Amino acid sequence: MAPTSTSQTPFGRVLTAMVTPFTTDGALDLDGAQRLAAHLVDAGNDGLIVNGTTGESPTTSDAEKAQLVRAVVEAVGDRAHVVAGAGTNDTRHSVELARAAEQAGAHGLLAVTPYYSKPPQEGLLRHFTAIADATGLPVMLYDIPGRSGVPIGTETMVRLAEHPRIVANKDAKGDLGRASWAIARSRLAWYSGDDMLNLPLLSVGAVGFVSVVGHLVSPELRAMLEAHLAGDVAKATEIHQKLLPVFTGMFRTQGVITTKAALTLQGQPAGPLRLPLVELTAEETEQLKRDLAAGGVQL
């Protein structure tokens, strides 16, 4: 049973898009995944996204995805929302992944905009509706045109919000104006999917974050959010500015690469990457250390 939620915060407020730990030979590390999940929930996360892009979903098999959901639910499912990535650019495959995630015990689904195919808005509407119709789980849309090539239009968002199981959106569009209109008109629970914009998105109606830097600074993210909710703008801004070096450093290259490097430096489960992702160079690692130190992260 997932932790208690409300229509305003269906998946909690602070979620981390979790990496998928691998063993030294590149196999799925389920023990490591459970330990990392417990560490993140202990650090203050209300939920975890598994099998997302940060979880290297393009290079994990369907069987591995189901195994990972089961393992994480077993580890933390009684105290955190476990949301499983199920989106692909193939609607039929996405429906299969959604059903498998439900069977594995996931509490919700993350459905990314179909990538590469560049479907029209009607295609997006039918794609997300098919995923939402496939299970009884609540769905968080994931709007990231920088990766997918196609944004979810505001009118499409409004229409999708009419579905009883489409309850939230992870916004990585980077457009506060569009976000403002979509939040106001759709009434979806809005989650920032761009760490640099976590605080600005709260100011236009977001309810929380789906974070990558949450692997390292979840307590600070929660403190920033709580300060904002309490009306302490100065405190929220202070925390945001303190974290700027972390936001910058973690995205100097692809976020999975830096996250696994940082977790390894901290002694947390992470393991290697699967190609086409590659390890940081020695110079990049030193830069990451400097960035994280400037943001107060202990390694």
Q: Is the pLDDT of residue 2 over 90?
A: no
Structural domain contains residue 2 = no
Q: Is residue 86 situated within a structural domain?
A: yes
Answer yes or no: is 273 within a domain.
no
Domain span including residue 100 = 14-231
Q: Give catalytic residues, as residue numbers.
A: 142, 170
Residue 250 lies in a domain: no
Query: Does residue 260 form part of some domain?
Result: no
Average of per-residue pLDDT across 137-141? 98
Mean pLDDT, range 183-211, rounded to an integer: 97
Binding residues: 54, 210
Q: Does residue 202 carry a pLDDT above 70?
A: yes
- Residue 25 burial (CB count, 10 A): 7
Residue 231 C-alpha from the chain's centroid = 26
Q: Is 280 among the domain residues?
A: no
Higher pLDDT, 40 or 7: 40
Q: How confident is the model at residue 128 (pLDDT cuts 50, 70, 90)?
A: very high
Tell whether the model's pLDDT for residue 3 goes beyond 80: no
Residue 282 confidence (pLDDT) above 70: yes
**pLDDT surpasses 80 at 110:** yes
Confidence of residue 192 (pLDDT cuts 50, 70, 90): very high
- Residues 218-258 have pLDDT tens digits of 999 999 999 999 999 999 999 999 999 999 999 999 999 99
Tell me the average pLDDT of the chain.
Answer: 97
Provide the pLDDT for residue 290. 98
The per-residue pLDDT for 65 is 98
Entry pTM: 0.96
Confidence of residue 1 (pLDDT cuts 50, 70, 90): low
Is residue 37 situated within a structural domain? yes
Instruction: Tell me how far CA of residue 146 lies from CA of 8, 31, 171, 222, in angstroms.
Output: 27, 33, 11, 27
Q: How many domains does the chain have?
A: 1
Please tell me the distance from the alpha carbon of residue 115 to that of residue 150, in angstroms, as a whole number.
7
User: What is the distance between the alpha carbons of residues 218 and 36, in angstroms, rounded to a whole number?
Assistant: 13
Q: Does residue 171 carry a pLDDT above 70?
A: yes
Q: What is the mean pLDDT of residues 139-152?
A: 95
pLDDT for the residue 154: 97
Residue 280: pLDDT above 70?
Answer: yes
- What is the tens place of the pLDDT at every residue in 35-53? 999 999 999 999 999 999 9
78: CATH: 3.20.20.70
Give the tens place of pLDDT for each residue, 68-102.
999 999 999 999 999 999 999 999 999 999 999 99
Placement of tokens 């209109």 in the chain: 181
237 domain-assigned: no
- Going by C-alpha positions, the residue among 31, 46, 41 that lies closest to residue 108 is 46
Cite the annotated binding site for pyruvate by residue number: 54, 210
